[in-house]
A and B are shown apart, each in its own frame.
Chain A
Amino acid sequence: MRAVIIGAGITGAACARALARAGFAVAVLERGAAVGGTSAMCEGNLLVSDKAPGPELALALHAADRWYALRDELRDELGPDFPSIEYERKSGLVVATTHTGARALKTFSGTQRAAGVEARELSVDDAGKLEPFLTRDITAAVHYPQDAQVQPAATAEALLASARRAGTEVLTGVEVTGAMRGIDGRINGVSTMNGRHGADIVINAAGPWAGAVASSLGVSLPVLPRRGMVLVTTRMPHRIFRKVYDADYVGATQSGDADLQTSTVVESTAAGNVLIGSSRQRIGFDDRLDLGVVREIAAKSMRLFPFLAEMQILRTYGGFRPYMPDHLPVIGEDPRVPGLYHVTGHEGAGIGLSVASADILRARILGEDSPVDAAPFTVDRPTLVPHLREMAR
């Protein structure tokens, strides 16, 4: 069985690894450079804390277990010469700064606990013990031991290298221009600028560009780019030990608003740079610097960690997250084109969910039991159908 995967970001890499290990002959086609898009423009969050009970949380809980094992698998397979994926189960600390926010956070974490998430309410003093530099001006704090992080570009490269070792061929600088179809209507390959690639199945893993890829293959998919900015400080001795964020972030992830939303997310990297987010904005693929966004993120971060005021911002970067109008990723076969699968739409959670999504994809293709109920992620789910109809008009 031959599989073509479109897109060499972390999702494409995870899918390639899963299918190559299942015995498929896999070719990954990448328009630019591998790991050159969203996977190199994000923070590498593996979060359960920001997810409401439901299918995405189930996927994230499965992913949390998978990453724990995967770190050792990748290290043993790739050896010491390969850059570390910097996996760290550092836990998350979510804080509220208003009384309304405190009530909402406590209610929200209660529902998460009922769904199997470890979430401990802390007093302000206990939160201060975990994060000595955190403002004491908080109204509630919840600790999430399952939250973790990775260095996303290294992780995507590691998954891709592992896929290569299982026989995957990675072709960069290859743009897909159309679908090849059999007389039965099944897709049986893709055409590119540099020739054709025959395949029994084709997987669209092009992240925020998956909508354009779908169009070139003859179907519509309502994936939109949602821009997110990250600020990077100079290196410093570690003063932030967990993933610390304002409870407003949960609201921002679940919002469908196109306008700018910012909420504070702060964490240290292994090297000692502090990453400061976050913003969400639907402005197409406009990647120009907008200091309005940067200024707002900077101002909010100081409220959470006052010492940051004196720290220096060294660089900023913005990435495009693949946004779905119903806030769920798409993982599965496209009923309109048998043999074509989509794995995209994870928005800001794609690094963490990549491996879990690849597990579902593999199960769907091989007809095995899926580790997570795959029904909510299908292309023809009820919440997505109206958007597909809208696009088809």
Chain B
Amino acid sequence: MTDVLVVGAGPAGLAAAVAARRRGAAVRIIDAAEGLGGQYWRHLPSSRPSEREELLHHGWDTFGSLRDEVCQDPDIVVSMQTEVWAIEQTADNRLRVNLARGEADGTGRLTEALAPEQLILATGAHDRALPVPGWTLPGVFTAGAAQAMAKGERIAIGERVVVAGSGPFLLSVTASLGQAGARVVGVYEASRSRALARHWLARPWELAGAAHKIGELAEYAVHHIRGRVPYRTGHGVVAVHGTDRVEAVTVAVLDEHWRVVTGTERRIDCDAVCFGHGFVPRLELPIAAGCHITERRFVHVDACQRTSADRVFAVGELTAIGGADLALAQGEIAGWVAAGGSLDDRDIRRAIRSRTRAEQFADRMDRAHAIGDCWSDWLGDDTIVCRCEDVDAGTLKRVAAATNSTGLRPLKLNTRAGLGLCQGRVCGRNVEQILLATHGCEEFADATTTDRRPIATPIRIADLARAPEHPTDSVLNRPRSQ
């Protein structure tokens, strides 16, 4: 049996595990969370089951059948609360994947090393929020966090919520907020309607097959009209106000570069704000595995979902931000091929067709909702950009100007931006763009990015010192106890 290790148990990872098993592989699937489903199908824990999950989730039936297949097959080992903390490229050009199991900041985590024959990376993306003055006030959430609280805890982040940013996820989070009992007072999409129309409505026949995706969006749209939620394009929340917590926001019209159109600012009272400016793929593991990253900062894959690294596949949001349909299709193809299947096999024809449609959809989304160049003009010098280390925009600009440095590494060391606990996951892209804008250049002279994190997740020194030197010989082996 081929050994396949799948990292990430969201739609892409689950589909990959099931397809690989169907094709006859031995599969191990791991995820840092306690429950299967990833961010997309985040739900109440099984200790507190809900009757209403299917109302809150798209494709809940799909999740149910994937979950059942994964959990009921003895040749699929499921390891929850398990993280990859490092991937090594060994001298014989194999990969060694180092796992740690247990509470993320707990002591005495079980460590394990694997040398899988095939590795499928399905680590997804985390959501991006652009900083604005006041965004560190209590009551400001990222769209992802707001969604997670609504789906995973049934908690609404506020009573009067403003949703702002860019992309269809704003609609999705608005729906979730409504279901959790919040009143959304406005949704502000920064992209202008012309850009949306240009990408959304061009060549509609390409989207014909993505009807249910369109349906999903239509459903959100209907939900908005019914709920009387104002939806404005070409608008952004450019400041958040309040003393101890959010009391109001400033909304303004944005031009195509996301510059504020002077005189259009309006104040809107609210007690919570939810920001979502697209997603950033979690690239640290692909980079550690030696995968080529494209100019648009996704993992490069071929038609089989193979990366440039030998025996490493990437699926889902690592390759494009395309939602669950794309993730499911890519996962199925990668799992099938990793287990020895071929693209010509009948079994995955449907997945290939579905992938083509979803890719077109993803590409349009990406273009329609691209972040404008001038967003950093919104910032004051005292606006915090890196929250872990309390680094403000003024410091970034001042140090970049004083040192004249075009190297990301020395700039990080000398501003401390991105050196904190999250290792630049939250602020990385924002920090990069502010620094590059200061010098007016396209990329850093040391050709590095904030995505490179050889230690992918913090690990205690005792656990590190005890980490096994030699990998177990099969992904199905349970880790030895320590």
What residues on B are CB-neighbors of A289 within 8 Å? 86-89, 288, 454
What residues on A are CB-neighbors of B405 within 8 Å? 33-35, 157
Complex Cα spacing A313 to B456, Å: 10
A residues with a Cβ closer than 8 A to B are 32-36, 39-41, 78, 81-83, 151, 153-154, 156-157, 160-161, 164, 170, 172-173, 231, 233-235, 271, 273, 276, 288-292, 294-295, 298-299, 301-302, 308-317
Known: A234-B458, A298-B464, A311-B461. A33 touches B413 (CB 8 A): no
Once the chains bind, are B414 and A154 in contact (CB under 8 Å)?
yes
What residues on B are CB-neighbors of A291 within 8 Å? 86, 88, 96, 98, 467
Once the chains bind, are A151 and B467 in contact (CB under 8 Å)?
no
Once the chains bind, are B404 and A83 in contact (CB under 8 Å)?
no
Task: Answer whether residue B469 sits at the interface, using C-beta atoms and an 8 A cutoff.
Answer: yes
B residues with a Cβ closer than 8 A to A are 86-89, 96, 98, 105, 107, 288, 389, 398-399, 402-410, 413-416, 419-421, 423, 444-447, 453-455, 458-462, 464-465, 467, 469
B413, B444, B447, B462: which has the most chain A beta carbons within 10 Å? B413
Known: A33-B444, A153-B410, A288-B89. A312 touches B459 (CB 8 A): yes
Min CB distance, A260 to chain B, in Å?
13
Known: A298-B465, A310-B107. A40 touches B447 (CB 8 A): no
Min CB distance, A305 to chain B, in Å?
9
Once the chains bind, are B469 and A295 in contact (CB under 8 Å)?
yes
Once the chains bind, are B445 and A316 in contact (CB under 8 Å)?
no
Known: A35-B407, A83-B399. A313 touches B464 (CB 8 A): yes
Min CB distance, B169 to chain A, in Å?
30
Complex Cα spacing A235 to B444, Å: 27
**Of the residues A36, A154, A234, A298, contact of B409 by C-beta under 8 Å:** A36
What residues on B are CB-neighbors of A299 within 8 Å? 465
**Given A154-B414, A298-B464, 8 additional A-B pairs, CB 8 A:** A32-B446, A34-B407, A153-B409, A157-B414, A291-B467, A302-B462, A313-B458, A317-B454
Complex Cα spacing A120 to B124, Å: 56
Inter-chain residue pair count (beta carbon < 8 A): 138
Complex Cα spacing A291 to B121, Å: 21
Min CB distance, B396 to chain A, in Å?
11
Known: A32-B407, A40-B410. A295 touches B455 (CB 8 A): no
Min CB distance, B93 to chain A, in Å?
11
Known: A32-B447, A288-B88. A314 touches B461 (CB 8 A): no
Complex Cα spacing A298 to B469, Å: 14
What residues on B are CB-neighbors of A34 within 8 Å? 404-407, 410, 445
Min CB distance, B86 to chain A, in Å?
6
Once the chains bind, are B414 and A314 in contact (CB under 8 Å)?
no
* Least CB separation from A151: chain B residue: B413
What residues on B are CB-neighbors of A302 within 8 Å? 461-462, 465
Enumerate 29 A-B pairs (CB-CB under 8 Å) in ascending A order. Answer: A33-B405, A34-B406, A34-B410, A35-B410, A36-B410, A36-B445, A36-B446, A40-B407, A82-B402, A82-B403, A83-B402, A83-B403, A151-B414, A153-B410, A154-B414, A157-B405, A160-B403, A172-B445, A234-B458, A289-B288, A291-B86, A291-B98, A295-B469, A299-B465, A302-B465, A313-B458, A313-B459, A313-B460, A316-B454
Q: Give 7 closest A-B pairs by Cβ, nearest first.
A: A33-B407, A33-B445, A299-B465, A36-B446, A309-B462, A33-B446, A36-B407
Min CB distance, A12 to chain B, in Å?
14
Once the chains bind, are A161 and B444 in contact (CB under 8 Å)?
no
Known: A36-B446, A288-B88. A314 touches B406 (CB 8 A): no
B87, B96, B402, B410: which has the most chain A beta carbons within 10 Å? B410
Complex Cα spacing A41 to B389, Å: 20
Once the chains bind, are B455 and A315 in contact (CB under 8 Å)?
yes
What residues on B are CB-neighbors of A170 within 8 Å? 404
* Least CB separation from B407: chain A residue: A33
What residues on A are CB-neighbors of B455 within 8 Å? 313-316
Min CB distance, A271 to chain B, in Å?
7
Known: A310-B460, A313-B455. A33 touches B410 (CB 8 A): yes
Complex Cα spacing A151 to B455, Å: 22
Known: A40-B407, A170-B404, A295-B465. A315 touches B414 (CB 8 A): no
What residues on A are CB-neighbors of B445 within 8 Å? 32-34, 36, 172-173
What residues on B are CB-neighbors of A295 within 8 Å? 464-465, 467, 469
Known: A291-B467, A295-B469, A314-B458. A81 touches B407 (CB 8 A): no
What residues on B are CB-neighbors of A316 within 8 Å? 454-455
A289, A291, A298: which has the most chain B beta carbons within 10 Å? A291
Complex Cα spacing A116 to B458, Å: 43
What residues on B are CB-neighbors of A233 within 8 Å? 461
* Least CB separation from A271: chain B residue: B416
What residues on A are CB-neighbors of B406 within 8 Å? 33-34, 172
Min CB distance, A274 to chain B, in Å?
10
Min CB distance, B365 to chain A, in Å?
33
Min CB distance, B96 to chain A, in Å?
8
**Of the residues B105, B398, B399, B414, contact of A312 by C-beta under 8 Å:** B105
What residues on B are CB-neighbors of A276 within 8 Å? 461
Complex Cα spacing A83 to B105, Å: 32
Known: A302-B465, A312-B461. A161 touches B447 (CB 8 A): no
Min CB distance, A209 to chain B, in Å?
14
What residues on B are CB-neighbors of A83 within 8 Å? 399, 402-403, 414-415
Complex Cα spacing A234 to B105, Å: 12
What residues on A are CB-neighbors of B89 within 8 Å? 288-289
Known: A32-B445, A310-B107, A314-B423. A40 touches B409 (CB 8 A): yes
Known: A82-B402, A288-B88, A295-B465. A153 touches B413 (CB 8 A): yes
Once the chains bind, are A315 and B453 in contact (CB under 8 Å)?
yes
Min CB distance, B32 to chain A, in Å?
15
A164, A173, A310: which has the most chain B beta carbons within 10 Å? A310
Min CB distance, A74 to chain B, in Å?
12
What residues on A are CB-neighbors of B416 within 8 Å? 271
Min CB distance, B431 to chain A, in Å?
15
What residues on B are CB-neighbors of A154 within 8 Å? 413-414
Min CB distance, A333 to chain B, in Å?
30
* Least CB separation from A39: chain B residue: B410
Complex Cα spacing A234 to B455, Å: 12
Once the chains bind, are B453 and A81 in contact (CB under 8 Å)?
no
* Least CB separation from A84: chain B residue: B414
What residues on B are CB-neighbors of A172 within 8 Å? 406, 445
Once the chains bind, are B465 and A81 in contact (CB under 8 Å)?
no
Min CB distance, B137 to chain A, in Å?
24
What residues on A are CB-neighbors of B453 within 8 Å? 315
What residues on A are CB-neighbors of B408 within 8 Å? 33
What residues on A are CB-neighbors of B398 within 8 Å? 81
Complex Cα spacing A355 to B459, Å: 37
What residues on B are CB-neighbors of A301 within 8 Å? 461
Known: A157-B414, A234-B421, A316-B454. A290 touches B459 (CB 8 A): no
Complex Cα spacing A151 to B405, Å: 16
B105, B414, B415, B453: which has the most chain A beta carbons within 10 Å? B414
Complex Cα spacing A298 to B105, Å: 18
What residues on B are CB-neighbors of A315 within 8 Å? 423, 453-455
**Of the residues A81, A157, A310, A317, contact of B410 by C-beta under 8 Å:** A157
Complex Cα spacing A316 to B423, Å: 12
* Least CB separation from A299: chain B residue: B465
What residues on A are CB-neighbors of B461 within 8 Å? 231, 233, 276, 298, 301-302, 308-313
